Chains A and B, each alone.
Chain A
């Protein structure tokens, strides 16, 4: 067995008593001839002793007192809250909510404005000879503006 393999097993299965007999014997044989791995084994055992001998503290009494008091507080606040019946719940659901209504109206107006902006559609009378009227529809504002005279150009006015 190589040192790397022994070190890995020392830190796990060997120390935790999970190595089978064959592996255990192989590790022991290696430890008999390898001083470095023997040192590692001793260090691992010493570390384990320190961990095992750690102090076990009793939980302070106030923890249980705090838990009890928190539970009691929760129970009291639950009891003090009036129980809501189904009809009460329905009534509360259907009760007018001015803020919600205002927000809904605003949202609807915004959606309509957005739709109006995106779907530009303009009807233009091209020809009207008294008998026949021809209409042309433009879906794009740019195209509409280029075909139709919208009035006095401000630059021309000043020139």
Chain B
């Protein structure tokens, strides 16, 4: 995720719409993709992204810059996405996660490439769906977004050892699921 400089954030607080758009462009990819992996639903991911940026817009004036802005965005994103996922899970008990996500994939130039990518996404999504939201979030932040243990710990406000144990359990659960279903391994 590209860094957002302090000057840009100050301009956002001062009400500069161009500066806010700059922040959006820098962060929206991370926010949307993390939300998509956690909620496993395109409509929810869009809503989460919208909510996260509105929260940022309204709370930026109160942000004390004691922690990194990036970490703050990670935390808001993860919390908003988990809350949205739990609410949706309650509303829609029999959700068909893979179908929902595959439907949201953009079209690619080659039909076969699209099929392969969709298949890959379906397998990935199916595996992630077997994990608890806490384990899933850790794996998404580490493996897909490439955050360090320290960054994950700061974003989730948990000790480093908890990050380590969640990653361990998450990865071992994925292997077990893979073996059970003979899907990937």
**Cβ–Cβ < 8 Å partners of B143 in chain A:** 48, 51-52
Contact partner of A47 (CB less than 8 A), chosen from B24, B49, B144, B175, is B175
Q: Within the complex, what minimum Cβ distance (angstroms) separates B6 from chain A?
A: 22
Q: Within the complex, what minimum Cβ distance (angstroms) separates A94 from chain B?
A: 33
- The answer to whether B127 and A70 have CB atoms under 8 Å apart is no
The answer to whether the Cβ of A58 comes within 8 Å of any Cβ in the partner chain is yes
The answer to whether the Cβ of A91 comes within 8 Å of any Cβ in the partner chain is no
**Cβ–Cβ < 8 Å partners of A51 in chain B:** 124, 139, 143-144
The answer to whether the Cβ of A55 comes within 8 Å of any Cβ in the partner chain is yes
Chain A 68-94 per-residue mask, 1 if CB under 8 angstroms from chain B, else 0: 101100000000000000000000000
Known: A47-B185, A50-B184. A55 touches B121 (CB 8 A): yes
Q: Within the complex, what minimum Cβ distance (angstroms) separates A57 from chain B?
A: 6
**Cβ–Cβ < 8 Å partners of A59 in chain B:** 28-29, 31-32, 46, 49
Contact partner of B28 (CB less than 8 A), chosen from A44, A50, A54, A64, is A64
In whole angstroms, how far apart are the Cα atoms of A57 and B102 in the complex?
A: 12
Contact partner of A8 (CB less than 8 A), chosen from B28, B29, B124, B168, is B168
Contact partner of B167 (CB less than 8 A), chosen from A12, A64, A66, is A12
The answer to whether the Cβ of A15 comes within 8 Å of any Cβ in the partner chain is yes
We find that the number of chain B residues with CB closer than 8 angstroms to chain A is 41
Known: A40-B175, A57-B36. A12 touches B29 (CB 8 A): no
Contact partner of A43 (CB less than 8 A), chosen from B33, B124, B185, is B185
Binds A, one of B50-58, B68-76, B77-85, B87-95: B50-58
Chain B 130-165 per-residue mask, 1 if CB under 8 angstroms from chain A, else 0: 000000000100111000010000000000000010
Chain B 15-37 per-residue mask, 1 if CB under 8 angstroms from chain A, else 0: 00100010010001101110011
**Cβ–Cβ < 8 Å partners of B124 in chain A:** 50-51, 54
- The answer to whether A43 and B28 have CB atoms under 8 Å apart is no
In whole angstroms, how far apart are the Cα atoms of A16 and B148 in the complex?
A: 9
Known: A63-B46, A63-B49, A67-B53. A53 touches B120 (CB 8 A): yes
Give residues in B with beta carbon < 8 Å to A: 17, 21, 24, 28-29, 31-33, 36-37, 46, 49-50, 53-54, 57, 104-106, 117, 120-121, 123-124, 127, 139, 142-144, 149, 164, 167-168, 171-172, 174-175, 178-179, 184-185
Give residues in A with beta carbon < 8 Å to B: 7-8, 11-13, 15-16, 18, 40, 43-44, 46-48, 50-60, 62-64, 66-68, 70-71
Known: A12-B168, A53-B120. 14 other contacts (CB 8 A): A13-B164, A16-B167, A40-B175, A46-B184, A47-B184, A50-B123, A50-B124, A54-B144, A58-B32, A60-B46, A63-B46, A67-B24, A67-B57, A68-B17
- Report 15 cross-chain contacts, Cβ distance below 8 Å, ordered by A residue: A7-B172, A8-B168, A12-B167, A12-B168, A18-B149, A47-B178, A47-B185, A50-B124, A53-B120, A56-B29, A57-B33, A57-B106, A64-B21, A66-B50, A67-B24
